[in-house]
Structure 1
Amino acid sequence: MSWGFARARRDVRGAAAVEFALILPILLILVFGIVNYGDMLSVRQSVSQAASEGARAAAVNPGDNAAKIAAGRKAVDAALDAQDQKCSASGCTVTIAPCVGEITKSCATVVVEIDYDGIIAGFGLVLPDTLSYTAVARVS
């Protein structure tokens, strides 16, 4: 009678290892996907902050359009550099323009677009290739 119990126990000894081997790839994909998605959200927040800072700097600058664009670009670069994102590298576009249809000169629209490759290759099917944000600042 004890032989039957020992034999049944011996038959299931490797079952846990087989189940773990089957589920491990799925768990790794989930973990790496969560890490990559979190990194994408962090970069997106940096781009959002940079666009907001650039729009504010351009809108409050009392100079002409060239001075507003220079102030906005400097603020965008400073905000991205503070977050370890380099806008000076290729793949980053900053567009600064006066607000469309606005009577006041104290308005600026900034669009920041940055190429996003992600940390881990292979997740490009579900994550965007570029991250962009548009910010508008009006000063009364």
Structure 2
Amino acid sequence: MIRRIHDSRRRRRDERGSAAIEAAIGIPAFGLFVAMIIMGGRVEVAKQSVEAAAYEAARSASIERTQGEAIAAGKTAATSSLDDQNVHCTSTDITVNAVAFNAPLGTTAQVTATVTCRVDLSDLALPGVPGHRVITATASSPVDAYRERR
């Protein structure tokens, strides 16, 4: 009986410090997991916002009457959409292809807008993850084939 008590005390002593080791391994792993969730959410929200901005740009451009007005309206709409959705791009590139306005009346054509946003991820400091992510979206909108064009 004395021997059993002695053995159980020895087993308890062997486990001392294991909680500290588990915490030393578990807390950083949990922190990386949370940072990856934040990164995924930030990238997905930016992706949806860039897609919406491209759609807004294409739609705004397609209802204008001239190619120059279409390009200006598309770029303004995309910038406004990104600002309204509170997306912070480190750099933004907006391209509006409005050659459809050169098509003769009665011909179907489309205006295409491409929005590229560089999202900053460097504040997350995840090992092996680049400091930024480039997100690009393209959308098209038809130009009325019988609408007067200048």
Q: Which has the larger radius of gyration?
A: 2
Distance 1:77 1:37 in 2: 23
Match of residue 20, structure 1, among 19, 23, 34: 23
Q: Relative to 1, partners in 2 of residues 1:123 and 1:132: Cα closer, same or farther, differing over 3 Å?
A: farther
Measured against aligned partners, the alpha-carbon deviations of 1:17-52 in whole angstroms (never above 9, x if no partner) come to: 212312332222122111111101111111110000
Q: Which residue of 1 aligns with 2:74?
A: 72
Distance 2:37 2:135 in 1: 18
Match of residue 130, structure 1, among 104, 109, 134: 134
Give the alignment's TM-score, normalised by structure 1: 0.81
Say whether residues 1:91 and 2:91 are aligned partners.
yes
Say whether residues 1:41 and 2:44 are aligned partners.
yes
Q: SS in structure 2 opposite 1:133?
A: strand
Aligned residues: 135
Residue ranges of structure 1 left out of the alignment (5+ in a row)? none
Compute the displacement of 1:8 (Å): 1.3
Distance 1:43 1:37 in 2: 10
Q: Relative to 1, partners in 2 of residues 1:26 and 1:49: Cα closer, same or farther, differing over 3 Å?
A: same
Give the alignment's TM-score, normalised by structure 2: 0.76
Compute the displacement of 1:16 (Å): 2.5
Compute the displacement of 1:123 (Å): 5.6
Distance 1:12 1:85 in 2: 50
Distance 1:76 1:124 in 2: 32
Name whichever structure is richer in strand by fraction.
2
8 Å CA contact retained: 2:97, 2:113: yes
Distance 2:131 2:52 in 1: 20
Q: Which residue of 2 aligns with 1:114?
A: 117
Q: Which consecutive aligned stretches of 4+ in structure 1 deviate over 6 angstroms post-superposition?
A: none
Q: Which residue of 1 aligns with 2:148?
A: none
